[in-house]
Structure 1
Amino acid sequence: MSRAPNEIPPWRECPFTPGRSYRVLKDFTALRDSFKAGQVLTYSSDAWSRYDGITGYFFVERGAGLSRVWDIDDGDDIGIWKELFEELPDRTGKRN
């Protein structure tokens, strides 16, 4: 029987909001995944690995139902997310 992994809140503040959608701005490859410009992803959760020194940000690809993950090294600037993803407005047109 497989158990779900224990998620430990990451040590840094998360730039994403659960349930919000984000568009991939450019093609790029992450540690465990590849992304294509124009993909629309809905953010779901994050998990920090003390052992690996990374935080994983988990998304679901709209229309495909696929789980996607963007990993960032503990030493990297989290601000890089703005070069990779664009937050889409919610139904009211608001962004966080």
Structure 2
Amino acid sequence: MLAAFSITPVGAGEDVGAHVAAAVRVIRDSGLPHRTAASFTEIEGDWDEVMAVIKAATDAVMQTAGRASIIIKADLRPGHTDTLNTKIQSVERHLSE
């Protein structure tokens, strides 16, 4: 499973960096392959692992924010691994043709 998700603290003001950092710390500590960008984090693993990390990251935000909005997009493709990288490699290969 490859999931792209965003956890947004609600009502925490304009500077949410500390809240987001708490979530990213949980994601990094998970040991699952991941990539954090400006608006979303992508994470790869099996369903239960990925959802557990998203929940734990949300819990970390909720400890200080009190409210959060979550967006999750998931790509389920049994038998495939490293899709975090292979999807990008496929696009790059097509661009270089």
Scaled by the length of structure 1, the TM-score of the pair is 0.26
Structure with max Cα Rg: 2
Higher relative contact order (CA 8 A, sep 6+): 2
Scaled by the length of structure 2, the TM-score of the pair is 0.26
Query: Which structure is higher in helix share?
Result: 2
